Amino acid sequence: MTLSLENSINQKMCQIFSRLGLDPRFAAVKVSDRPDLSDFQCNGALALAKSERKNPREIAAGIAAELEKDAAFAKISVDGPGFINMSLTDAYIAANMDEVAADERFGVGKVEDSHTVVMDFGGPNVAKALHVGHLRSAVIGESIRRIELFAGNRVISDVHLGDWGTPMGMILAEIINQDGNLGKTETYGIEEISAFYKKANIRCKEDEAAKEKARIITAELQNGSPEYRKAWQHLRKVSVEAIKENYDALDAHFDLWLGESDAHEACGEIVRLAARKGLSEVDDGATIIRLEGNKPPVILVKSDGGFGYQVTDIATIKMRYDDLHAEEILYVVDKRQSLHFEQCFESAEKLGIAPGVKFRHIGFGTVNGADGKPFKTRDGGVMNLEDLIKLSKDKVRESVPAAGEVEGYGEAEIENLVSQIAIGAIKFQDLKNNTASGYVFELDDFAKFEGKTGPYIQYAIARINSILRKAAEAGTKEGKVVITNNEERDLALKIAQLNAVVMRAHNEKEPSVVSDYAYTLAQSFSTFYNVSSIMNAENKDFASSRLKLARLVRDILRQLLYLLGIEAPEVMLKKASAE
């Protein structure tokens, strides 16, 4: 296995610690806080001082003396209260780059405790068009899915469709209202179904009787009325088709298309189990489980006898444990639902339905407009995902030549390119922000080819592609890496951070760690290439070395975009006037 630079130093450190009888858990190094002083640092001596009953500088000096014997290091020093600073020789860095360039994982390790992660994201609702509020779950969820897989876990993604609640009864009631019965239901497409839902929503808000009727229909649907089930099947099918198109456009992948309805039987089991374990009680007609602290109780059965959102999620946990053998369950859902998940996780633990399973709610903030309120269309309406994609494509067209202006680029090729850039721009704008915080959708800059944007990284990749094509034409081949200047050295050290970046993104479930790194790596490459020419290199060996570094950066940037769920076009076209 190829080790990243950091891990190969970690390995050396562990050996030294063991040799000196020190706890190797404190041996880890990190990228130096003072790059002007050193490449890496280890602060372990400070942590060890107490248990070793020694002065940390003394411990550090012992370790430093061992490091001095290793030819990999150019400079070792003990600074401040006991920090060990180390700088590597250029030859050692170069040799590591050769290894990383030959490795298809670029020196990125895998988790030691590889396990099955069930991911719950998307969470769309039947009959409701996907809007900007659904964007983050799909975009962040897909990125974390890819990061988890790359880190070495097994992942099963489930869309967890909202297909079982009162909205279902509301739509059926509205169809009956307008048509007299459900006879025509199967002729309706997604537009009509969404329209029925909108009407139903208004009617139920104004009219108690209509609301009551919808509630009764929902209960009968859940209890198995064949007529309602048949009509509902159709609503569900048509919605799933429309939703699949949206998720395909976003490149979000779901292994399972289960919904709340699939947990219906298991809800009954949960209710019986809770009663058997003496955990539930009836309160005001509803069956509930009381929780610790001042959390409100969880509702298993509503006072009208129906199952609601909470018991459905608890029952789904049981299914994911029993059927999918989940060892960890991740929910990528709006952070405003955090109490709901705390309640569900605690209930699952009390019920003992998923022993040993780790639960994590990855709560995200909202996408806001410039006014700080949830992002809307120009006329104040809800921003549908399709509108947003269209808006992004229009922005991208400002920078890309029109069909026919570039040889080989007809309508289809330009459309394909525009779409790759537009989706990349939307996704990167989302993923460059910390998951938990909301963000303001930057209408002016998000699709530009300059700045911290998706198109900038795509452009950086395409630019290296073009460099590689020219080098191939000139007959230049990749060769051993040699470090010839500071910019090359900095780029290599930047590349060396990849393993730590991926592992941090995985541990923190935070794609912005990846997007940040991709941006700074692209910048380091630019700085490197400004001073380190391939075509006009001082000699052939330098050209071959730089070619290898360029190809490596291109491959890593592609991998990083892949982890963000963003495509990397081979070529990027830019209008002369575009930024």
* 158 interacts with ligand ARG by CB under 6 A: no
Q: Cβ 140 to ligand ARG, closest distance in Å?
A: 13
Among 131, 160, 318, 554, binds ligand ARG (CB under 6 A): 160
Q: Cβ 275 to ligand ARG, closest distance in Å?
A: 24
φ and ψ at residue 439, rounded to 5 degrees: -150, 160
Q: Cβ 340 to ligand ARG, closest distance in Å?
A: 7
* 82 interacts with ligand ARG by CB under 6 A: no
Question: Taking the CA of residue 53 as centre, how many other CA atoms within 13 Å lie in the half-sphere pointing to its CB?
Answer: 0
* 117 interacts with ligand ARG by CB under 6 A: no
Q: Cβ 308 to ligand ARG, closest distance in Å?
A: 11
Please spell the DSSP secondary structure of 176-239, one letter per residue: HHHHSSSTTGGG--HHHHHHHHHHHHHHHHH-HHHHHHHHHHHHHHHTT-HHHHHHHHHHHHHH
Nearer to ligand ARG, 60 or 243 (CB): 243
Question: Taking the CA of residue 321 as centre, how many other CA atoms within 13 Å lie in the half-sphere pointing to its CB?
Answer: 18
Q: Which amino acid is at 85?
A: N
Q: Cβ 123 to ligand ARG, closest distance in Å?
A: 3
Q: Cβ 271 to ligand ARG, closest distance in Å?
A: 18
Nearest to 252 by CA among 55, 481, 423: 423
Residue closest to ligand ARG (Cβ): 123
Helix (H) or strand (E) holding 412: helix 411-431
Q: Cβ 522 to ligand ARG, closest distance in Å?
A: 34
Q: Which stretch binds ligand ARG (CB under 6 A): 30-38, 120-128, 237-245, 538-546?
A: 120-128
* 267 interacts with ligand ARG by CB under 6 A: no
435: number of Cβ within 10 Å:
21
* 331 interacts with ligand ARG by CB under 6 A: yes
Nearest to 245 by CA among 430, 121, 389, 397: 389
Q: Which stretch binds ligand ARG (CB under 6 A): 33-41, 117-125, 284-292, 510-518?
A: 117-125
Strand partners, 334: 364
CA separation for the pair 96, 210 (Å, rounded): 70
> Tokens 């706890």 sit at which residue?
23
* 120 interacts with ligand ARG by CB under 6 A: yes
* 139 interacts with ligand ARG by CB under 6 A: no
Q: Under rule CB under 6 A, which residues in 333-362 are in contact with ligand ARG?
A: 333
Nearer to ligand ARG, 157 or 559 (CB): 157
Binding pattern to ligand ARG, positions 406-425, x when CB under 6 A? --------------------
Q: Which stretch binds ligand ARG (CB under 6 A): 118-126, 175-183, 483-491, 562-570?
A: 118-126
φ and ψ at residue 230, rounded to 5 degrees: -65, -50
Nearest to 448 by CA among 578, 337, 260, 561: 578
Nearer to ligand ARG, 319 or 389 (CB): 319
What lies within 8 Å, CB to CB, of 469 at 6+ separation is none
Please spell the DSSP secondary structure of 126-179, one letter per residue: TTS--BHHHHHHHHHHHHHHHHHHHHT-EEEEE--BB-SSHHHHHHHHHHHHHH
Q: Under rule CB under 6 A, which residues in 161-220 are in contact with ligand ARG?
A: 162
Among 142, 163, 313, 430, binds ligand ARG (CB under 6 A): 313
Residues that bind ligand ARG (CB under 6 A): 120, 123, 125, 160, 162, 313, 331, 333
